[in-house]
Amino acid sequence: MNRAERLARLLRVLAAIIAEPGLNPLELAERAGVSERTLRRDLVQLRDLGYEVAYTSGYEVQEKLNLEGRGRKAMRTRGDDALLQAVAHAVETAGLWRDTDSDGRAQPLAPRRARPRRTGDAPVVLIPSGGDDPDFIFATGFAVESGLFISFSPQEQVLAVSPLEVDRARAESKVATILEEREAYATGSWARLAARMLREKGIGHVRVATGLPAVHLEELRAAGSEAEIDRTLFVAERRRKSAEEAAAIQEAQSAAEAAVTEVVRELAKAEIKDGVLWSNGGPLTSEKLYARAQFALGERGFTCPDMIIASSPGSALPHYRGDGPIQANAPVIIDIFPTSRKTYFSGDLTRTVVVGEISEEVRRMHAAVLQALDVGIESISAGVPGKEPHLAVCQVLVDRGFGTTTEGFEGPDGVARMNHSTGHGVGLEIHEEPSLRAVAEEPLEEGDVVTVEPGLYLLGFGGVRIEDTGMVTKHGFHNFTTLTRSLDPRDYL
């Protein structure tokens, strides 16, 4: 392409913007007769020439055309000047030039396309970040790796999925309108599909969830949709569990109890050789116990790929998953948080046991954690700030001679301490609102499901943690957990 043709193409792009401000990238490329890739290059060149082209809810030439290019110091050529003259003529012909009348007052520009007004609650657009996206599952009742959900209103909701998933969506989803979408599935262009569906209804402003992948957010905005990240989307709705949701979490907690019991049974049957546990002719490892727990969960329709079965001294790190042989005469932390493959709701349960001799220090740590757990549970009820159970737990641990990392409850130097919050919400995610921590001023609400999980950890030695999960009520805490909290594996049999 020669220079004249290139300048002519730039002129077509600029003329399209001038004639119809507010076009999205797809529309602008179509009006100018260029590809999207070429359009991006042309817009850069136009800015280098001094044209203040900007994208807000659509492409516009902002404030003035800057035909003399004073905003840039790039060298201009005769070809560029010819382009400027042609553009000036086009602008003047279109009636968009800000000229002055005889008394020097500026004449108003011709009206531009108005931006969409935000009235009421904007529609919600969801594109899943994966098959376990909690907001997508909450809104649709359906788990899928890729697709599109738009809620124009509570009465008008649409779910678009691939041909692969459309029959399952019709069987499982609670959305009334299910669309089979081939092109968006093949190209991954769910955001463009959303923008087109919104544009057909004259909608420019939408809300999206915090978990929307950045690539989809950028594509939504580039396609002309003013997408706003709504940090409160579904937060209140997901916090307050219905009776059906609470039952699903309680079922997950029962599955966790079964898996923990299976792990402890294996521990109880093991022999002690050279300070480690042996079973079936070899060392009993975290990996073998993990497999047993997964089998127990799988039989019940649950899974927990990141469970913790941590021997000491590694158990002093709260999120150490565990690996290798299990040490005898030392605490083993078992933390299982299974998710249902059917309801997608989770439970969360932690127990600590010792096979062999239980040292006095471990007994002291366990007794303190157990008392802290009971006090934390007793301090929970609707209307209580989330920080109160945490501070009550911290006070018990300090009173028993230990420490925490919470300000004002540090305890003496060199002792085992708790370095995490007391609890968190459980639902479609293992960790969700609300939290039980020192900065949690917001009151707990009836229908919240939370964990209470105090722990003590000493590097080089090991850790002890006990965790129950239950529901906040106006009268207190309805504990979904029934499993013993004993250090002795035999008490689980």
Q: CB neighbours of 476 closer than 8 A, spacing ≥ 6? A: 377, 378, 380, 381
End-to-end CA distance of the chain: 82
Inside any domain, residue 102? no
Residues spanned by the domain of 157: 124-233
CB 433 within 8 A of CB 371: no
Q: Are residues 76 and 139 in the same domain?
A: no
Inside any domain, residue 107? no
Q: Which CATH number do you get for residue 62?
A: 1.10.10
Give the separation between CA 161 and CA 489, rounded to whole angstroms.
49
User: Could you tell me whether strands 468-472 and 477-479 are parallel, antiparallel, or unpaired per DSSP bridges?
Assistant: antiparallel
Look at residue 106 in the predicted model and tell me its pLDDT: 41
User: Could you tell me whether strands 226-229 and 205-208 are parallel, antiparallel, or unpaired per DSSP bridges?
Assistant: parallel
Which amino acid is present at 197?
M
Q: Are residues 303 and 181 in the same domain?
A: no
Give the separation between CA 467 and CA 372, rounded to whole angstroms.
11
Q: Are residues 221 and 249 in the same domain?
A: no
Inside any domain, residue 63? yes
Q: Which CATH number do you get for residue 308?
A: 3.90.230.10
Q: From residue 40, how far is each of 14, 193, 323, 417 by CA, in Å?
A: 13, 21, 51, 56
pLDDT in tens, the chain (493 residues): 566 667 777 888 878 887 777 777 777 877 777 787 777 778 877 777 777 777 655 676 654 444 444 344 444 444 444 555 555 455 445 444 443 444 444 444 333 333 444 434 899 999 999 999 999 999 999 999 999 999 999 999 999 999 999 999 999 999 999 999 999 999 999 999 999 999 999 999 999 999 999 999 999 999 989 999 999 999 999 999 999 999 999 999 999 999 999 999 999 999 999 999 999 999 999 999 999 999 999 999 999 999 999 999 999 999 999 999 999 999 999 999 999 999 999 999 999 999 999 999 999 999 999 999 999 999 999 999 999 999 999 999 999 999 999 999 999 999 999 999 999 999 999 999 999 999 999 999 999 999 999 999 999 999 999 999 999 999 999 999 999 999 999 999 9
Q: Which residue, among 189, 216, 204, 203, has the nearest Cα to 56 in the 3D structure?
A: 204
Inside any domain, residue 391? yes
Q: Are residues 300 and 430 in the same domain?
A: yes
Q: CB neighbours of 424 closer than 8 A, spacing ≥ 6? A: 431, 432, 434, 435, 436, 450, 451
Look at residue 70 in the predicted model and tell me its pLDDT: 39
- Mutual angle of helices 214-222 and 190-200, in 10-degree steps: 40
Look at residue 62 in the predicted model and tell me its pLDDT: 58
Inside any domain, residue 288? yes
Look at residue 1 in the predicted model and tell me its pLDDT: 59
Q: Which residue, among 345, 338, 303, has the nearest Cα to 429 in the 3D structure?
A: 345
In terms of phi and psi (left: phi > 0; alpha: psi -120 to 50; beta: otherwise), the region of 414 is: left
pTM: 0.76
Q: Are residues 268 and 204 in the same domain?
A: no
Q: Are residues 72 and 135 in the same domain?
A: no
Q: Which CATH number do you get for residue 208?
A: 3.40.350.10
Q: Indicate the SS3 state at residue 282.
A: strand
Residue 80 in tokens: 């560029």
Q: Which residue, among 259, 310, 294, has the nearest Cα to 455 in the 3D structure?
A: 310
Which residues make beta-bridge pairs with 350? 335, 467
Q: Are residues 185 and 289 in the same domain?
A: no
Residue 115 in tokens: 């931006």
- Could you list the beta-strand ranges (E) of 103-190: 124-126, 148-153, 156-161, 177-180
Look at residue 74 in the predicted model and tell me its pLDDT: 45
Q: Please identify, among 233, 253, 277, the residue that sits at the C-terminal boundary of a domain.
A: 233
Q: Are residues 266 and 408 in the same domain?
A: yes
Look at residue 156 in the predicted model and tell me its pLDDT: 96
